[in-house]
Amino acid sequence: MTDAAPASAPATYDVVIIGGGPGGYNAAIRAGQLGMKVACVEMRETLGGTCLNVGCMPSKALLHASELFESANTEFAKIGIEVTPKLNLGQMHAQKNDSVTALTKGIEFLFKKNKADWIKGKGRITGPGTVEVEAKDGTKTTLKAKDIVIATGSEPTPLPGVEFVPGKVVDSTGALALAAVPKKLIVVGAGIIGLELGSVWRRLGAEVTVVEYLPRITPGMDSDLATAFQRTLTKQGMTFKLGSKVTGSKVTKDGVELTVEPAAGGTPETLTGDVVLVAIGRRPYSAGLGLETVGVETDKRGVIVGDHFKVAANPDGGGVWVIGDVTTGPMLAHKAEEDAVAAIELIAGKAGHVDYNLVPSVVYTFPEVAWVGQTEDQLKADGIAYKVGKFPFSANSRAKINHETDGYAKVLADPATDRILGVHIMGPQAGEMIGEACVAMAFGGASEDLARTSHAHPTRSEVVKQAAMGVEGWTMQA
């Protein structure tokens, strides 16, 4: 690691990357592997970006711990284990933080291994091939590079009329570090982030109400799956207020008052809670990057637009590249990683491409929900014919003996060619199982390929095989 500091002459690199999250650090590692001299500019005290520091990783640590806590309270007795669990929230946060620290140190090691420099500070493009880095103490240094990669990620989208108040009205970062379990938690936004963090605090004892502007949860998820998912979350204890618009908030000595009215118009009402989590999405972190100095533009949402990664060309043949949340495509860490490899390999003169239709999405609740490819809603809207195969976890041997029977797998395929169009799973370890579908679809596989591939028995993954068999109507276990 190098802190930004004044220098008599600019340090020169093949590639300078602005942002050290999943896109940025993977780009730096790949560039190092390909023999490039590379620097990664990151303003946080640790590498890893939102995902590792205040997103994917700490949330999964709390999801895992809270799931075990709930199982100890509700499931252990059924299988002959009698315990009286007691929550130690401080220790739960401590183990989460220890895990995050270990992972950030791991990235620092990978930087050293691949000879990538970490320049600590805030990066800003000042012209073609030039990046100015401002350190925390205000000192500045200049880096020169043939190619610049923007990997600045995204930040929580604020909600008009609702001001953040530490410990009371929080974003996802604040919800990961609450000092006590709220008696009542109101989650604004029924997307992946809101439902995951809402699940954490519900398991630990909070009464959770989810307010969503749309008439359904999890936009982008297959609506059939979303309906089943909402039913399961409701059974677990979550309350949903769909088609509802939040218009304001007020912090009182007793908590937070949230003003809500029907999205279609109507009489407002007041909801009260100890904590309000605003999780209405994320927006690209594209302001203050000096984009205007190289002729790069953003759309009205702040997304950097351009032609497949490269958004500006330099006279010397290099240019400005953009990857991850700050450009088009799903705002997912693993999408940013794929962007990173593709962009760096293009810079190196190799082929580079990412098919966003094959980037899976996962909700890490219990049960998990995972999907890849097109939904039934999309196929219907586009007038595309398809066949469906479904299989429930309630008919899967491993799920039944583990008392994990909520959910199902669904395979969508082309009726003429049998090519897989989409796979959707709600159930235990759905996020682990979706990879099989990604591989099959990447190779242009048919539902019959999944159906005739041997799956170990008894495993949960057999639901995917059986669902694929169902496309042609020969499911054998239900």
Separation CA 200–CA 198 (nearest Å):
5
Separation CA 390–CA 4 (nearest Å):
56
Separation CA 193–CA 99 (nearest Å):
20
Query: Catalytic residue at 334?
Result: no
Q: Provide the 8-state DSSP code for 158.
A: P
Tokens 């996962």 correspond to: 362
Largest CA distance in the chain: 73
How far, CA to CA in Å, does 323 sit from each of 43, 47, 175, 328, 376? 18, 17, 27, 8, 29
Helices 333-347 and 22-33 cross at an angle (nearest 10°) of 30
How far, CA to CA in Å, does 24 sit from each of 179, 253, 346? 32, 43, 15
Separation CA 317–CA 346 (nearest Å):
12
DSSP assignment of 252-314 = ETTEEEEEEEETTS---EEEEESEEEE-S-EEE--TTS-GGGGT--B-TT--B--BTTEEEE-
Our measurement of the distance from residue 318's CA atom to the centroid of its chain's CA atoms, rounded to an integer in Å, reads 31
Compute the chain's Rg from CA coordinates: 24
Separation CA 395–CA 9 (nearest Å):
68
> How are beta strands 154-156 and 282-284 bridged, if at all?
antiparallel
Separation CA 305–CA 292 (nearest Å):
13
| Virtual torsion, Cα 185, 188, 21, 152, nearest 10 deg | -140
Q: Do 42 and 52 touch, CB atoms closer than 8 A? A: no
Burial 190-200 (b: 16+ CB within 10 A, else e): bbbbbbbbbbb
Residues contacting 187, CB < 8 A, separation 6+: 194, 195, 197, 198, 208, 209, 210, 211, 276, 277, 279
In the set 93, 403, 455, 457, the catalytic residue is 457
Please give the backbone phi and psi of residue 269, each rounded to the nearest 5 degrees, phi first: -140, 165
Q: Do 432 and 439 touch, CB atoms closer than 8 A? A: no
Nearest to 462 by CA among 357, 388, 392: 392
Catalytic residues: 457
